[in-house]
């Protein structure tokens, strides 16, 4: 279409080409997409809030769209912020951390109601991407949902893994490791070196646990301790993806999903090697100084004494949960 006025003519399409560049169109499309996304999220949040408002919920601070109650924790240390909020809203209050409703209890009476009176309702622990990866889909007894599998794993743990006889069988491990600790402190003190007791005691606990779980002769002990340390650091860290589990874009942008997949592959390879080593050693009927916890779980697996298939994934998950 051409426009003519006073003998001058110009084409509207040419004007458009000169004034609107491809970069402008791309920017406009991006901003429009972001606007549509934000409006959709706000409407979804409003719809969820409307449904929750009809329920009888504990009191809590004001919430922002998308963020929920997170902004109340930014002003000071989180535990200081929670203490201040509990003084205002009472010993039982409800926060919304991103998408996650979080019940905060700050009195002995309220804690007794939850831990004793309503124990079954709160028996299942909340989980996240890191814990699901570390426990092979919540197969470790510490994070398995309350129910049939949890009861079976608990019974097996009490009878086979944590009995007084089993704990006593690891006495020589504790004695040897404490002796090694004392010897190392003596050597360092004789040379006038500084002794970091906090680190020494942490290493003592790790060494005792590792020898009890996978045995003294396992050649993968250092790899096992390294992967356990990485798991604990990842589980204790902050991940934005854990607060917005239904938003795949956050997992993608934060790299949480790909990072945990790489971590899981490395972890799984090490744990598989440990289990395979124990199976080969058992098949060769080599005399053992002690029966470690992996040996015990593989024996339970071979006997089929549980009411469900006790696969290797359960063994690997319990190996890691023993450190939590």
Q: Are residues 242 and 313 in the same domain?
A: yes
Identify the pLDDT of residue 45.
59
In a domain, 17, yes or no: no
Q: Residue 229 belongs to what domain range?
A: 148-321
Q: Are residues 153 and 100 in the same domain?
A: no
Identify the pLDDT of residue 282.
80
CB atoms within 10 A of CB 136: 21
In a domain, 90, yes or no: yes
In a domain, 11, yes or no: no
CATH (domain of 261): 1.10.630.10
The pLDDT tens digits along the chain (324 residues) read 444 444 444 444 434 444 445 555 566 666 666 676 666 666 665 555 555 555 688 999 999 888 899 888 887 788 899 999 999 999 999 999 988 899 999 999 999 998 889 888 888 877 777 778 777 887 888 888 888 889 999 999 999 999 999 999 999 999 999 999 999 999 998 988 898 999 999 889 988 998 999 887 777 878 888 887 877 777 666 778 888 888 888 877 777 777 778 888 888 998 999 999 999 888 776 655 578 999 999 999 999 988 899 999 999 999 888 876
148 Cα distance to chain centroid: 23
Identify the pLDDT of residue 86.
93
Q: Are residues 155 and 289 in the same domain?
A: yes
Q: Are residues 155 and 280 in the same domain?
A: yes
SS3 label, residue 232: helix
**Stretch (H or E) spanning 212:** helix 197-214
Q: Are residues 157 and 115 in the same domain?
A: no
Q: Are residues 86 and 155 in the same domain?
A: no
Q: Are residues 115 and 161 in the same domain?
A: no
Q: Are residues 258 and 194 in the same domain?
A: yes
Identify the pLDDT of residue 165.
93
Q: How many domains does the chain have?
A: 2
Identify the pLDDT of residue 14.
39
Q: Are residues 283 and 207 in the same domain?
A: yes
Q: Are residues 301 and 246 in the same domain?
A: yes
Q: Are residues 179 and 248 in the same domain?
A: yes
Q: Are residues 154 and 239 in the same domain?
A: yes
- The Cα 128–Cα 95 span in angstroms is 18
In a domain, 47, yes or no: no
Nearest by Cα to 127 from 114, 139, 113, 110? 139
In a domain, 130, yes or no: no
In a domain, 69, yes or no: yes
DSSP tag of 145: P
């Amino acid at each position: 279409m051409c426009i003519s006025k006073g003998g001058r003519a110009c084409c509207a399409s040419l004007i458009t080409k000169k004034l609107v560049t491809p970069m402008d169109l791309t920017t406009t499309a991006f901003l429009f997409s972001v606007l549509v996304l934000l409006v959709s999220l706000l409407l979804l949040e409003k719809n969820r809030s409307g449904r929750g408002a009809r329920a009888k919920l504990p009191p809590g601070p004001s919430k922002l769209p998308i963020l929920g109650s997170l902004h109340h924790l930014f002003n000071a240390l989180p535990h200081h912020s929670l203490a201040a909020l509990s003084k205002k809203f009472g010993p039982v209050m409800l926060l919304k951390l991103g998408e996650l409703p979080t019940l905060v209890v700050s009195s002995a009476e309220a804690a007794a109601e939850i831990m004793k009176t309503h124990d079954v309702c709160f028996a299942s622990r909340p989980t996240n991407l890191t814990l699901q990866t570390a426990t092979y889909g919540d197969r470790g007894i510490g994070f398995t949902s309350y129910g049939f599998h949890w009861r079976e794993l608990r019974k097996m743990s009490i009878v086979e893994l944590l009995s007084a006889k089993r704990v006593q069988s690891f006495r020589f491990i504790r004695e040897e490791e404490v002796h090694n600790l004392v010897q190392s402190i003596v050597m360092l003190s004789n040379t006038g070196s500084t002794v970091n007791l906090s680190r020494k005691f942490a290493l003592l606990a790790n060494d005792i646990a590792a020898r009890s779980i996978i045995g003294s002769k396992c050649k993968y002990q250092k790899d096992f301790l390294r992967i356990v340390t990485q798991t604990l650091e990842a589980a204790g860290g902050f991940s934005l993806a854990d607060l917005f589990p239904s938003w795949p874009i956050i997992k993608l942008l934060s790299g949480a999903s790909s990072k945990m997949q790489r971590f899981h592959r490395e972890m799984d390879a090490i744990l598989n090697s440990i289990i395979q080593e124990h199976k080969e050693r058992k098949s060769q009927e080599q005399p053992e100084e002690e029966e470690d916890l992996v040996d015990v779980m593989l024996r339970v697996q071979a006997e089929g004494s549980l009411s469900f298939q006790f696969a290797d994934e359960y063994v690997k998950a319990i190996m890691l949960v023993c450190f939590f």
